[in-house]
Chain A
């Protein structure tokens, strides 16, 4: 079968949140000796890009995005063992987390889905993350970008403390910082010394790309 046809079907299954279809077309990919990495990037990731656009336009909401991600993951699990690993290429690494005191992680999880599908390496610290952990993870993984989120007005100031920690440890110029979450604004991002702000998960991929453009 034509590989373009398979990529189109993989993308469609992601957009439709069709887990069974995603499984079927991932298996077709392997059966037809098509490059697994190409299938992820040109099939699944393209589908996720459409999902992101639909989310931004207000046609998709959280349930639809989660179902699409779930379909994508079904296919990724099948394709992953077949990816030929290129040891020389190091993907851009992003450390993600919801700051200390805040357990609202759906927004952060959507950002992770978008970044994963665009081929970034995501270190997900989870929710209610002690602030020092962000700094530790950046150093440990040599991350280029930190993404922090908070849903509660009261936990937002934790983001500023992470920025301050990076400054005091002499690490601020080695990493770009993006923030997000319902109570945050561009104005707030600037005021705490972050590099960028996203209004929702659909902007994450573009922001990481522009922050890391050489």
Chain B
């Protein structure tokens, strides 16, 4: 099987020669392998593309993200963002300082936002170069996480209890913005969008609030993605076990699980309807040895089974992870 066939088979619960491996999020890590300053790629985006191509020669992922700057929408909406030399961009100034600011938000023109434009140009280039053989996807934030960045996560948490109507208004705006990003993604013809929602994690909000403030907007985004002809993947950080039943209703085309989730439990709940992926510890990938990563990967496959399962890390491959450790994810599947 080619890498692409392997991924497609796993997504349709068909048999595979080897369990496919998606990082799932390797972009910044790969850049970090080749650049001393990760911030450089925001000045010279094609260097980011080269890093992804180079890393594939060392770590043969079956699919990968071709757009990894997933918080670009935050800047497009008007927040100030800091680009550290070695790390992911961070939001430093919120556009929604008081709830009244929500009414002053306006839809950004993505074709005029240079960071967004650059990201999609890079993604387009990588899709053209790699798309025939490998599965390619763009990584983007979901509305709840985008809302948290626009408002500040702590303020959003209090708004949920104090002024839920304002939160819904902000989420509707975020959903509109992300629909535009979905359209851009469809235009360059990637296979899927990996929608990420770390702020919807069980470390932050209850299942009840997840149902009220996350599920409806996620549903709208997943539908839009499919209407555009793309697969809609979902990743939520932390322990999502208590909300997997809601996720089953949302039925993404793939659910990516963090390390804290027991794959047996996840498989049981999402059984035969949603393929799952995960969930080797990112801390282990950063700090342990290849032999440990191979053992952890095999344990994941043993627990999840070979059907409807893709192997990957529980979250982003951390910047500075040794290449040998990341490669061990791919090596492990050949031994089973």
A and B form one complex? yes
Is A63 in contact with B161, judged by CB distance below 8 angstroms? yes
Q: In the complex, A109→B157 CA distance in Å?
A: 13
Q: In the complex, A154→B286 CA distance in Å?
A: 8
Is B158 in contact with A63, judged by CB distance below 8 angstroms? yes
A182 touches which of B86, B153, B203, B318 (Cβ 8 Å):
B203
* Listed stretches B42-50, B120-128, B204-212; interface member: B204-212
Q: Does B320 contact A (CB under 8 A)?
A: yes
A63 contacts which chain B residues (CB < 8 A)?
157-158, 160-161, 204-206, 209
Q: In the complex, A59→B282 CA distance in Å?
A: 28
Q: In the complex, A183→B282 CA distance in Å?
A: 8
A101 contacts which chain B residues (CB < 8 A)?
84, 86-87
Q: Does B319 contact A (CB under 8 A)?
A: yes
Q: Does B336 contact A (CB under 8 A)?
A: no
Given contact pairs A109-B154, A154-B319, A62 touches B204 in the complex (Cβ within 8 A): yes
* Listed stretches A43-51, A64-72, A75-83, A85-93; interface member: A64-72
Given contact pairs A17-B161, A66-B158, A67-B158, A61 touches B319 in the complex (Cβ within 8 A): no
A109 contacts which chain B residues (CB < 8 A)?
154
**A17, A64, A153 interface centre (most CB from chain B within 10 Å):** A153
The contact string, 1 if C-beta is below 8 Å from chain B, for chain A 2-34, is 000000000000000100000000000000000
Is B90 in contact with A61, judged by CB distance below 8 angstroms? no
A154 touches which of B160, B202, B205, B318 (Cβ 8 Å):
B318
Q: Does A41 contact B (CB under 8 A)?
A: no
Q: Does A188 contact B (CB under 8 A)?
A: yes
B153 touches which of A58, A106, A155 (Cβ 8 Å):
A106
Closest to A63 in B: B157
Interface residues on A, range: 20 to 34
- Count of B residues near A, CB < 8 Å? 26
Tell me the residues in window 132-179 of chain A with beta carbons closer than 8 Å to chain B beta carbons: 152-156
Tell me the residues in window 134-184 of chain B with beta carbons closer than 8 Å to chain A beta carbons: 153-154, 157-158, 160-162
Q: Does B238 contact A (CB under 8 A)?
A: yes
Q: Does B54 contact A (CB under 8 A)?
A: no
Q: Does B283 contact A (CB under 8 A)?
A: yes
Q: Does A73 contact B (CB under 8 A)?
A: no
A152 contacts which chain B residues (CB < 8 A)?
87, 318
Closest to A184 in B: B283
Q: Does A103 contact B (CB under 8 A)?
A: yes
Is A64 in contact with B84, judged by CB distance below 8 angstroms? no
Q: In the complex, A59→B158 CA distance in Å?
A: 16
Known: A106-B153, A153-B282. 18 other contacts (CB 8 A): A58-B242, A61-B202, A61-B204, A61-B209, A62-B203, A63-B161, A63-B205, A63-B206, A66-B154, A67-B158, A101-B87, A106-B154, A152-B87, A153-B283, A156-B283, A182-B237, A183-B282, A185-B283
17 contacts between A and B (CB under 8 A): A17-B161, A61-B204, A61-B209, A62-B204, A63-B157, A63-B158, A63-B160, A64-B161, A66-B154, A66-B158, A106-B157, A109-B154, A153-B286, A154-B319, A183-B282, A183-B283, A188-B283
4 shortest interchain CB distances as A-B pairs: A153-B318, A63-B157, A61-B206, A154-B318
